[in-house]
Chain A
Amino acid sequence: MTVTVPVTAALALGDDALVLSHRLGEWAGHAPVLEEEVALANIALDLLGQARVLLSMAGDEDELAYLREERAFRNLQLVEQPNGDFADTIARQLYFSTYQHLLYAELAAGDGPFAPLAAKAVKETDYHRDHAELWTLRLGDGTEVSRERMRQAVEALWRFTGEMFQPVEGVDVDWADLDRRWLESVTDVLGRATLSVPESPRTGAWSAGAGRQGLHTEPFGRMLAEMQHLHRSHPGATW
Protein backbone atom coordinates (compact mmCIF):
# COMPACT_ATOMS: atom_id res chain seq x y z
CA MET A 1 0.00 0.00 0.00
CA THR A 2 1.37 3.40 -0.84
CA VAL A 3 0.48 6.47 1.15
CA THR A 4 0.52 9.64 -0.85
CA VAL A 5 2.68 12.19 0.84
CA PRO A 6 2.17 15.79 -0.16
CA VAL A 7 5.81 16.49 -1.02
CA THR A 8 5.31 20.24 -1.46
CA ALA A 9 3.90 20.52 2.05
CA ALA A 10 6.50 18.26 3.65
CA LEU A 11 9.27 20.35 2.08
CA ALA A 12 7.72 23.66 3.09
CA LEU A 13 7.17 22.70 6.73
CA GLY A 14 10.41 20.72 6.90
CA ASP A 15 12.51 23.55 5.49
CA ASP A 16 10.99 26.02 7.97
CA ALA A 17 12.06 23.80 10.85
CA LEU A 18 15.49 23.01 9.39
CA VAL A 19 16.45 26.58 8.63
CA LEU A 20 15.27 28.02 11.94
CA SER A 21 16.99 25.17 13.75
CA HIS A 22 20.24 26.10 12.04
CA ARG A 23 19.82 29.77 12.92
CA LEU A 24 19.21 28.93 16.58
CA GLY A 25 22.24 26.63 16.53
CA GLU A 26 24.35 29.66 15.68
CA TRP A 27 23.63 30.97 19.19
CA ALA A 28 25.57 28.13 20.77
CA GLY A 29 28.33 29.70 22.82
CA HIS A 30 27.00 33.22 22.23
CA ALA A 31 23.73 33.49 24.17
CA PRO A 32 23.38 36.17 26.86
CA VAL A 33 23.52 33.61 29.67
CA LEU A 34 24.25 29.92 29.96
CA GLU A 35 20.67 28.99 30.80
CA GLU A 36 19.34 30.78 27.74
CA GLU A 37 21.86 29.05 25.57
CA VAL A 38 20.51 25.70 26.70
CA ALA A 39 16.97 26.87 26.04
CA LEU A 40 17.76 28.02 22.51
CA ALA A 41 19.65 24.80 21.81
CA ASN A 42 16.66 22.82 23.09
CA ILE A 43 14.35 24.64 20.72
CA ALA A 44 16.81 24.12 17.88
CA LEU A 45 16.91 20.39 18.61
CA ASP A 46 13.12 20.15 18.69
CA LEU A 47 12.95 21.86 15.32
CA LEU A 48 15.67 19.67 13.85
CA GLY A 49 13.71 16.61 14.95
CA GLN A 50 10.62 17.95 13.18
CA ALA A 51 12.70 18.72 10.08
CA ARG A 52 14.05 15.19 9.95
CA VAL A 53 10.60 13.63 10.05
CA LEU A 54 9.19 16.04 7.48
CA LEU A 55 12.10 15.86 5.04
CA SER A 56 12.12 12.08 5.31
CA MET A 57 8.52 12.16 4.12
CA ALA A 58 9.67 14.03 1.03
CA GLY A 59 12.80 12.00 0.24
CA ASP A 60 16.27 11.43 1.65
CA GLU A 61 16.69 13.85 4.54
CA ASP A 62 20.45 14.35 4.10
CA GLU A 63 20.25 14.90 0.38
CA LEU A 64 17.42 17.35 0.82
CA ALA A 65 19.21 19.27 3.56
CA TYR A 66 22.71 19.33 2.14
CA LEU A 67 22.49 19.10 -1.63
CA ARG A 68 19.71 21.47 -2.58
CA GLU A 69 20.47 24.91 -3.92
CA GLU A 70 18.92 27.99 -2.38
CA ARG A 71 16.20 28.18 -5.01
CA ALA A 72 15.00 24.68 -4.16
CA PHE A 73 14.34 25.54 -0.52
CA ARG A 74 10.72 26.23 0.36
CA ASN A 75 11.09 27.80 3.81
CA LEU A 76 9.54 31.08 4.85
CA GLN A 77 11.77 34.10 4.53
CA LEU A 78 11.08 34.82 8.19
CA VAL A 79 13.04 31.83 9.47
CA GLU A 80 16.13 32.54 7.35
CA GLN A 81 16.56 36.03 8.79
CA PRO A 82 19.83 36.48 10.69
CA ASN A 83 19.80 36.15 14.46
CA GLY A 84 20.59 39.83 14.99
CA ASP A 85 20.57 40.71 18.67
CA PHE A 86 18.67 38.73 21.29
CA ALA A 87 15.50 40.77 20.71
CA ASP A 88 15.58 40.02 16.96
CA THR A 89 15.85 36.32 17.71
CA ILE A 90 13.01 36.48 20.21
CA ALA A 91 10.72 38.41 17.85
CA ARG A 92 11.39 35.91 15.06
CA GLN A 93 10.71 33.08 17.49
CA LEU A 94 7.49 34.64 18.78
CA TYR A 95 6.12 35.13 15.27
CA PHE A 96 7.11 31.71 14.04
CA SER A 97 6.28 29.62 17.11
CA THR A 98 2.85 31.18 17.39
CA TYR A 99 2.23 30.29 13.75
CA GLN A 100 3.67 26.80 14.09
CA HIS A 101 1.71 26.09 17.24
CA LEU A 102 -1.61 27.10 15.70
CA LEU A 103 -0.85 25.15 12.53
CA TYR A 104 0.22 21.96 14.27
CA ALA A 105 -2.77 22.08 16.60
CA GLU A 106 -4.99 22.08 13.50
CA LEU A 107 -3.03 19.31 11.82
CA ALA A 108 -2.96 17.19 14.97
CA ALA A 109 -6.73 17.39 15.20
CA GLY A 110 -7.17 16.16 11.64
CA ASP A 111 -6.34 12.76 10.20
CA GLY A 112 -4.03 13.83 7.38
CA PRO A 113 -0.51 12.54 6.76
CA PHE A 114 0.96 15.11 9.14
CA ALA A 115 -1.27 14.30 12.10
CA PRO A 116 1.17 11.95 13.90
CA LEU A 117 4.05 14.42 13.61
CA ALA A 118 1.84 17.33 14.55
CA ALA A 119 0.57 15.58 17.67
CA LYS A 120 4.15 15.40 18.91
CA ALA A 121 5.28 18.77 17.62
CA VAL A 122 2.33 20.68 19.04
CA LYS A 123 3.67 20.17 22.57
CA GLU A 124 7.11 21.36 21.54
CA THR A 125 5.84 24.43 19.74
CA ASP A 126 3.66 25.28 22.73
CA TYR A 127 6.82 25.47 24.80
CA HIS A 128 8.70 27.47 22.15
CA ARG A 129 5.88 29.97 21.98
CA ASP A 130 5.73 30.26 25.73
CA HIS A 131 9.48 30.83 25.93
CA ALA A 132 9.34 33.55 23.27
CA GLU A 133 6.37 35.17 24.98
CA LEU A 134 8.11 35.31 28.36
CA TRP A 135 11.12 37.00 26.79
CA THR A 136 9.03 39.41 24.75
CA LEU A 137 7.35 40.50 27.98
CA ARG A 138 10.64 40.89 29.81
CA LEU A 139 12.43 42.76 27.06
CA GLY A 140 9.45 44.90 26.07
CA ASP A 141 8.59 45.74 29.65
CA GLY A 142 12.22 45.80 30.79
CA THR A 143 14.68 48.66 30.59
CA GLU A 144 14.43 51.58 28.19
CA VAL A 145 17.11 50.04 26.01
CA SER A 146 15.61 46.55 25.95
CA ARG A 147 12.19 48.00 25.16
CA GLU A 148 13.55 49.97 22.22
CA ARG A 149 15.43 46.97 20.86
CA MET A 150 12.38 44.73 21.20
CA ARG A 151 10.28 47.37 19.46
CA GLN A 152 12.75 47.56 16.60
CA ALA A 153 12.87 43.79 16.25
CA VAL A 154 9.08 43.53 16.22
CA GLU A 155 8.90 46.22 13.52
CA ALA A 156 11.73 44.89 11.38
CA LEU A 157 10.34 41.37 11.07
CA TRP A 158 6.70 42.37 10.75
CA ARG A 159 6.76 42.46 6.95
CA PHE A 160 7.71 38.77 6.86
CA THR A 161 4.68 37.63 8.84
CA GLY A 162 2.02 37.71 6.13
CA GLU A 163 3.88 35.07 4.18
CA MET A 164 3.17 32.45 6.81
CA PHE A 165 -0.47 32.33 5.80
CA GLN A 166 -0.06 31.79 2.09
CA PRO A 167 -1.82 28.47 1.56
CA VAL A 168 0.55 25.52 1.18
CA GLU A 169 -0.50 22.81 -1.27
CA GLY A 170 -1.27 19.67 0.69
CA VAL A 171 -1.91 21.36 4.02
CA ASP A 172 -5.61 21.33 4.62
CA VAL A 173 -6.35 24.12 7.07
CA ASP A 174 -8.29 27.36 7.09
CA TRP A 175 -5.38 29.74 6.50
CA ALA A 176 -7.41 32.91 6.89
CA ASP A 177 -8.64 31.72 10.27
CA LEU A 178 -5.09 30.81 11.34
CA ASP A 179 -3.98 34.28 10.32
CA ARG A 180 -6.74 35.86 12.36
CA ARG A 181 -5.89 33.84 15.44
CA TRP A 182 -2.17 34.48 14.98
CA LEU A 183 -2.75 38.22 14.89
CA GLU A 184 -4.95 38.03 17.96
CA SER A 185 -2.35 36.10 19.93
CA VAL A 186 0.61 38.26 18.89
CA THR A 187 -1.36 41.46 19.50
CA ASP A 188 -2.11 40.25 23.01
CA VAL A 189 1.52 39.43 23.82
CA LEU A 190 2.84 42.69 22.36
CA GLY A 191 0.24 44.63 24.29
CA ARG A 192 1.27 43.05 27.56
CA ALA A 193 4.89 43.78 26.67
CA THR A 194 3.91 47.49 26.40
CA LEU A 195 4.58 47.35 22.66
CA SER A 196 2.14 48.00 19.88
CA VAL A 197 1.43 46.10 16.72
CA PRO A 198 3.41 47.64 13.84
CA GLU A 199 1.42 49.64 11.33
CA SER A 200 3.51 48.52 8.37
CA PRO A 201 1.85 46.08 5.96
CA ARG A 202 2.09 42.31 6.38
CA THR A 203 0.83 41.48 2.92
CA GLY A 204 0.85 43.03 -0.50
CA ALA A 205 3.46 44.89 -2.46
CA TRP A 206 5.32 46.38 0.49
CA SER A 207 5.64 43.18 2.45
CA ALA A 208 8.24 40.46 2.02
CA GLY A 209 7.93 36.79 1.43
CA ALA A 210 8.23 34.46 -1.49
CA GLY A 211 10.19 31.77 0.28
CA ARG A 212 7.58 29.16 -0.55
CA GLN A 213 8.31 29.87 -4.21
CA GLY A 214 12.05 29.40 -3.69
CA LEU A 215 12.91 33.09 -3.61
CA HIS A 216 15.05 33.96 -0.63
CA THR A 217 16.71 36.92 1.01
CA GLU A 218 20.41 37.60 0.77
CA PRO A 219 21.57 36.21 4.13
CA PHE A 220 20.14 32.79 3.28
CA GLY A 221 22.83 31.91 0.70
CA ARG A 222 25.54 32.50 3.26
CA MET A 223 23.78 30.38 5.80
CA LEU A 224 23.41 27.51 3.34
CA ALA A 225 27.06 27.75 2.27
CA GLU A 226 28.07 27.25 5.87
CA MET A 227 25.53 24.53 6.55
CA GLN A 228 26.29 22.50 3.42
CA HIS A 229 30.02 23.06 3.14
CA LEU A 230 31.27 19.85 4.72
CA HIS A 231 28.79 17.61 2.99
CA ARG A 232 29.62 19.10 -0.39
CA SER A 233 33.37 18.84 0.22
CA HIS A 234 33.11 15.13 0.94
CA PRO A 235 30.27 13.84 -1.21
CA GLY A 236 29.10 10.36 -0.40
CA ALA A 237 30.84 10.16 2.97
CA THR A 238 28.99 8.51 5.83
CA TRP A 239 28.92 10.21 9.23
Chain B
Amino acid sequence: MTNTEWPLWEVFVRSRRGLSHTHAGSLHAPDAELALRNARDLYTRRGEGVSIWVVPATAITASSPDEKDPFFEPSADKPYRHPTFYEIPEGVRHL
Protein backbone atom coordinates (compact mmCIF):
# COMPACT_ATOMS: atom_id res chain seq x y z
CA MET B 1 0.00 0.00 0.00
CA THR B 2 2.72 2.40 1.00
CA ASN B 3 4.40 2.07 -2.36
CA THR B 4 1.47 2.61 -4.67
CA GLU B 5 -0.79 5.00 -2.80
CA TRP B 6 1.84 6.70 -0.71
CA PRO B 7 4.59 7.50 -3.19
CA LEU B 8 8.03 8.65 -2.19
CA TRP B 9 8.84 12.37 -2.18
CA GLU B 10 12.21 14.04 -1.97
CA VAL B 11 12.46 17.06 0.29
CA PHE B 12 14.62 20.14 -0.23
CA VAL B 13 14.83 22.73 2.51
CA ARG B 14 16.22 26.23 2.56
CA SER B 15 16.93 27.38 6.08
CA ARG B 16 16.12 30.88 7.19
CA ARG B 17 19.61 32.19 6.44
CA GLY B 18 20.40 29.68 3.76
CA LEU B 19 20.98 30.65 0.16
CA SER B 20 19.88 27.51 -1.54
CA HIS B 21 17.65 24.54 -1.05
CA THR B 22 19.47 21.48 0.20
CA HIS B 23 18.26 17.94 -0.05
CA ALA B 24 17.06 17.05 3.45
CA GLY B 25 15.65 13.59 2.99
CA SER B 26 12.62 11.78 1.74
CA LEU B 27 9.18 10.80 2.97
CA HIS B 28 5.94 9.15 1.94
CA ALA B 29 2.79 11.16 1.35
CA PRO B 30 -0.40 10.72 -0.69
CA ASP B 31 -0.03 14.06 -2.47
CA ALA B 32 2.08 17.19 -2.67
CA GLU B 33 0.14 19.16 -0.09
CA LEU B 34 0.50 16.52 2.58
CA ALA B 35 4.10 15.93 1.55
CA LEU B 36 4.74 19.58 2.40
CA ARG B 37 3.06 19.24 5.79
CA ASN B 38 4.97 16.08 6.54
CA ALA B 39 8.24 17.66 5.48
CA ARG B 40 7.55 20.58 7.75
CA ASP B 41 7.03 18.22 10.70
CA LEU B 42 9.91 15.91 9.88
CA TYR B 43 12.64 18.21 8.61
CA THR B 44 12.11 21.78 9.74
CA ARG B 45 10.63 21.50 13.22
CA ARG B 46 8.57 24.39 12.02
CA GLY B 47 11.39 26.90 12.26
CA GLU B 48 9.99 30.09 10.84
CA GLY B 49 11.11 31.56 7.56
CA VAL B 50 12.19 28.43 5.79
CA SER B 51 11.25 27.33 2.33
CA ILE B 52 10.43 23.73 1.47
CA TRP B 53 10.33 22.04 -1.90
CA VAL B 54 8.87 18.59 -2.36
CA VAL B 55 9.36 16.62 -5.54
CA PRO B 56 7.94 13.20 -6.37
CA ALA B 57 10.91 10.87 -6.46
CA THR B 58 9.78 9.62 -9.88
CA ALA B 59 10.30 13.12 -11.31
CA ILE B 60 13.98 13.05 -10.58
CA THR B 61 16.37 11.74 -13.18
CA ALA B 62 19.69 10.78 -11.68
CA SER B 63 23.01 10.34 -13.39
CA SER B 64 24.01 6.73 -13.60
CA PRO B 65 27.04 5.40 -11.74
CA ASP B 66 28.08 3.68 -14.98
CA GLU B 67 28.51 7.05 -16.63
CA LYS B 68 30.62 8.35 -13.81
CA ASP B 69 33.76 8.73 -15.85
CA PRO B 70 32.45 10.68 -18.82
CA PHE B 71 30.24 12.77 -16.53
CA PHE B 72 32.47 13.74 -13.69
CA GLU B 73 36.07 13.30 -14.67
CA PRO B 74 36.94 15.93 -17.23
CA SER B 75 40.55 15.82 -18.17
CA ALA B 76 42.45 17.42 -15.35
CA ASP B 77 45.43 18.14 -17.56
CA LYS B 78 43.69 21.10 -19.16
CA PRO B 79 44.01 23.64 -16.39
CA TYR B 80 42.43 26.38 -18.54
CA ARG B 81 39.11 24.61 -17.97
CA HIS B 82 39.37 25.16 -14.25
CA PRO B 83 39.41 28.84 -13.44
CA THR B 84 40.87 28.40 -10.00
CA PHE B 85 43.80 30.80 -10.20
CA TYR B 86 41.98 33.86 -9.01
CA GLU B 87 42.43 35.50 -5.68
CA ILE B 88 38.92 36.09 -4.44
CA PRO B 89 38.65 39.73 -3.42
CA GLU B 90 37.67 40.37 0.13
CA GLY B 91 34.02 41.13 0.61
CA VAL B 92 32.83 38.72 -2.03
CA ARG B 93 30.51 36.38 -0.30
CA HIS B 94 28.64 33.23 -1.17
CA LEU B 95 31.13 32.24 -3.84
Residue in B30, B31, B34, B38 whose beta carbon sits within 8 Å of that of A38 in the complex: B38
Chain A residues, CB < 8 A from B31: 138
Tell me how far the C-beta of B37 lies from the nearest C-beta in chain A, rounded to whole angstroms: 6
A202 is an interface residue with CB less than 8 A from chain B: no
Give Cα distance in the complex from A42 to B31, angstroms.
20
Residue in B30, B33, B38 whose beta carbon sits within 8 Å of that of A39 in the complex: B38
Q: Bits for B30-46, please: 1 = Cβ < 8 Å to A, else 0.
A: 11011001100110001
Chain A residues, CB < 8 A from B33: 134
Indicate if the CB atoms of A38 and B42 lie closer than 8 Å.
yes
Give Cα distance in the complex from A127 to B46, angstroms.
10
Indicate if the CB atoms of A34 and B28 lie closer than 8 Å.
yes
Chain A residues, CB < 8 A from B2: 33
A52 is an interface residue with CB less than 8 A from chain B: no
Indicate if the CB atoms of A38 and B6 lie closer than 8 Å.
no
Main secondary structure of the interface of A (DSSP, over half): helix
A131 is an interface residue with CB less than 8 A from chain B: yes
Residue in A33, A42, A130, A134 whose beta carbon sits within 8 Å of that of B41 in the complex: A42
Indicate if the CB atoms of B28 and A33 lie closer than 8 Å.
yes
Beyond A33-B2, A134-B34, is A39–B28 a contact (Cβ under 8 Å)? no
Chain B residues, CB < 8 A from A34: 28
Chain A residues, CB < 8 A from B55: none
Tell me how far the C-beta of B40 lies from the nearest C-beta in chain A, rounded to whole angstroms: 8
Q: Which of A144-202 contact B (CB under 8 A)?
A: none
Chain B residues, CB < 8 A from A134: 33-34, 37
Q: Which of A96-145 contact B (CB under 8 A)?
A: 127, 130-131, 134, 138
The 8 tightest CB contacts between A and B, nearest first, are A35-B38, A38-B41, A42-B41, A39-B41, A35-B27, A38-B42, A35-B28, A35-B29
Residues in B lying within 8 Å of A, measured CB to CB: 2, 6, 27-31, 33-34, 37-38, 41-42, 46
A35-B34, A39-B38 are known contacts; what are 8 more A-B pairs with Cβ within 8 Å?
A: A35-B38, A35-B41, A35-B42, A38-B38, A42-B46, A127-B46, A134-B33, A138-B30
